[in-house]
Amino acid sequence: MGFNEILEISKPRIVVLLVITAVTSMYAASKLVPGVPELDYWSYLHIIIAGALASAGSSALNHYYDKDIDPKMTRTSTRPIPSGKMAASNVLIYGLAVSCISVIYGYFALNAVSAFFIAVGIFSYVVIYTVWLKRRHTSNIVIGGIAGSAAAWAGWAAATGSMDLLGFLVGFLVFVWTPSHFWCLAMKIKDEYAKAEVPMLPVVIGMQKTSKFILGNTLILIPYSLILSFIPDGLGIVYTVIAIVSGALMLVYHYKLTKNPTSEFAWKAYKVTAPYLTIIFVAVALDAAFHFPLF
């Protein structure tokens, strides 16, 4: 069990994405919520460590639970467990230990509310998505998206010690974005999911209908993202402009996907959808730093 194998089961790209959402949410809360004291570098280091551990532990447990279906899919057949590079029991121990440490660390280094949302994220990804829904229902990734929202909520709560309307709505952006993002990937590897008997949406209803679901979800995401600018004491001009431009780009590609619902174009749409979350959360942070209210 080497460092490369541990890194792989921790899914570093997901770790980075969720840490970005947590840190930007934490920063935005420190600037936008009245009465929150200025945060020091240690505060950000704590949310980075807790968030990274939670994401890594959850991902490892996902690797462990999916050890029977990973060999059936080209994309996952070379993962450490199916390839024999790591024993399944070691992955399980690592996942459980790191997940527990993340919650405990969050409780003592941040606060109880932030630790609660860290635990919610782990539970949502491991139990609700991986164990309960992934192999049973097409709603799997939709409801599983709450795990990503929990990262943003943990960051917001790390700064404020509580949760308010704006913080909840900022975090819920991840939930609303997730179907548009993941269904594009599911279209790309539809045949692999079918071979593994995982009921992802394109496997169950086909590529054409899935492309329309993606477009429909994006048509919900764009106005939802703008709600954050129109609630009292919400986000301002900087965020609004970036949200409109990035959302419009997604909309164009997802409309084109309905006209060309192939795995090749779904991959192109996926590459456009994937950076959206980082862009939108950086926009939240920039808006907090250079806040120009709409009204």
Dihedral over Cα of 255, 260, 261, 263: its sign: negative
**For residues 210-238, average pLDDT:** 96
- Kindly indicate the confidence band of residue 295, based on its pLDDT and cuts at 50, 70 and 90: confident
Identify which of 12, 18, 6, 19 has the alpha carbon closest to the alpha carbon of residue 46.
Answer: 19
Could you name the CATH architecture of 1-163? Answer: Orthogonal Bundle (1.10)
**Rounded to 10 degrees, what is the CA torsion of 64, 191, 262, 253?**
-10
Give the chain's mean pLDDT.
96
pLDDT above 90 for 2? no
pLDDT of residue 1: 61
* pLDDT above 70: residue 194: yes
Cα within 13 Å of Cα(11), Cβ side = 20
Question: pTM above the 0.85 mark?
Answer: yes
